Amino acid sequence: MANPTMSTPAALEAVVKPTLGAILLGLVFTSTFFGVTLLQTYQYYDRYWHDTIWLKLFVAVIGILDTVQVVTVIHSNWWYLIENYANTSALAIVPWSLGVEVGITTSIGLLVQSFFALRVYILSRGNKPITATILTLTIAQFILGVYYAVKGQETRLVVTIATITWASTASLACSIAGDFLITATMCFYLTASRSGIKRSDKLIDVLIAYTVNTGLLTTICAVCTIILSEVVPDSYWDTMFYFMISKCYVNSTLATLNARDKLRTTVMHGTAQQPVPLSPFRPSGQKILADDSDMQFASNPMLAKTEYSEGTTTTLASVV
C-alpha cells in the first residue's frame, strides 16, 4: 500500500527523484562501464593467453566479481521499482543486494590495489615501507567496507545505516589515499629513471600519463561519493558514483595490462632507432636498456627481478 502522505504527484516526485532516480542512473552508468569491462577482458585473453596462470586467474576473479556487482545493482533496482512499486515505505529499507554490492566493491579494491602495490614494489626496487603503507591502506578500506556492509544488513534500515556512515567514508578515504600513494610513488620512480635520451624520456612521459589516468577516475568517483553523502545525506545520489568505483578499478587494471604490447613496441622501435652507445652504462653507472629478465614482469610478475644493483634503471616494462 502506498503511503497516504505521499499520494500527491509532487510529494512522490520529491521522494522518488533523489532515491530511485539516482539508483536507476547508477544502473545505467554501471552497465555502460560493464560493457567496456567485457570488451577489455576479451582483448586481454585474446592477446595475452601466454601470461602466467596467476595473472589470468587474477583477471578472471576481478571480472567475475565485477559481473556479480552488476547483478546486485540490477536486483536493487528490481526490488525498489518492481517488487515495491508505489510503496514509498520501502525506501526506508536497504535490500540485501546493496550490502553485497559494498562488499564486492571493497573486495575488488583490495585485489586491484594489491596488484598495483606489487608493481610499486618492483619499480621502487623493493621499497618495503612504501609498499607496506599501500597494503595497510588497502586492507583498512576493505575491513571498513565489510564492517559497513555487515552492520548495515543487520537491520537493513536506512535510519540505522545512517549512524555508521563514518565507516563508509573512512573506507573511501583509505582507498583514495592508497590510490594517491600508488600514483605518486610510480610517477616519482619513473621520473627518476629518465636517461636523457629523447625517445626513451618520451616513453616515460607516456607511462606517467598512464599511471595518473589509472587512478584518476576511481579517485573522482570516490570523492564525489563522499561529498554527496555529506551534502545530501537523505538521498541516494552518492550511490550513483559508488556503483562505478569497482568498474573504474577493473577497467584501469585491464587497460594497463592490454597496453603492454603497444608500449613494448614503442620501446623496441625507440631503441632500434637510437645510436648504440659504446657502453651500456651511463657515466653514473645507470643502465640505459632493460635486459630480458627485466622485461619478464610485463607478462609474469612472479619472475620479475626484485634485487637490483645500485643505480640500475628499473625496467619500463614492469609498470605497464
Contact 6, 12 (CB under 8 A): yes
Question: Which residues lie below 8 Å from residue 67, measured CB to CB, with a gap of 6+?
Answer: 34
127 domain-assigned: yes
276 domain-assigned: no
Contact 193, 204 (CB under 8 A): yes
Each residue of 285-297: pLDDT tens digit?
444 334 444 434 4
69 domain-assigned: yes
Under the phi-then-psi rule, with left for phi > 0, alpha for psi from -120 to 50, and beta for the rest, what region is 87?
Answer: beta
Whole-number Å distance between alpha carbons of 67 and 69:
5
Whole-number Å distance between alpha carbons of 245 and 257:
19
- Going by C-alpha positions, the residue among 264, 311, 298, 310 that lies closest to residue 122 is 298
Each residue of 193-241: pLDDT tens digit?
777 777 777 778 778 887 887 788 899 999 999 999 888 888 889 899 9
Each residue of 120-150: pLDDT tens digit?
998 888 889 999 999 999 999 999 999 999 9
Candidate ranges 205-209, 268-272, 299-303; pick with highest mean pLDDT = 205-209
Domain residues for 160? 13-269+286-319
Residue 110's Cβ-count burial label (10 Å; 0-12, 13-18, 19+) is buried
Contact 40, 255 (CB under 8 A): yes
Question: Alpha helices of 48-127 — where are they, by DSSP H?
Answer: 53-78, 96-123
Each residue of 23-50: pLDDT tens digit?
999 999 999 999 999 999 999 999 998 8
156 domain-assigned: yes
Question: Which residues lie below 8 Å from residue 231, measured CB to CB, with a gap of 6+?
Answer: none
5 domain-assigned: no
What is the phi/psi pair of residue 275, to 5°?
-60, 135
Q: Per the structure block, which three cell numbers stand in for 116?
A: 598495483
How many domains are there within the chain? 1
6 domain-assigned: no
87 domain-assigned: yes
Query: Cell 608500449 appears where?
Result: 263
Task: CATH number of the domain at 117, please.
Answer: 1.20.1070
Q: Provide the pLDDT for residue 313.
A: 40
Between 198 and 252, residue with greater pLDDT: 252
Task: Compute the half-sphere exposure of residue 276: CA atoms within 13 Å on the CB side of its CA.
Answer: 1
CA–CA distances in Å: residue 170 to residues 166, 182, 222, 260: 6, 18, 11, 34
Average pLDDT score over the chain: 80
Q: Which DSSP string corresponds to 252-289? A: HHHHHHHTHHHHHHHHHHHHHTSPPPSSSB-TTS-BSS
132 domain-assigned: yes
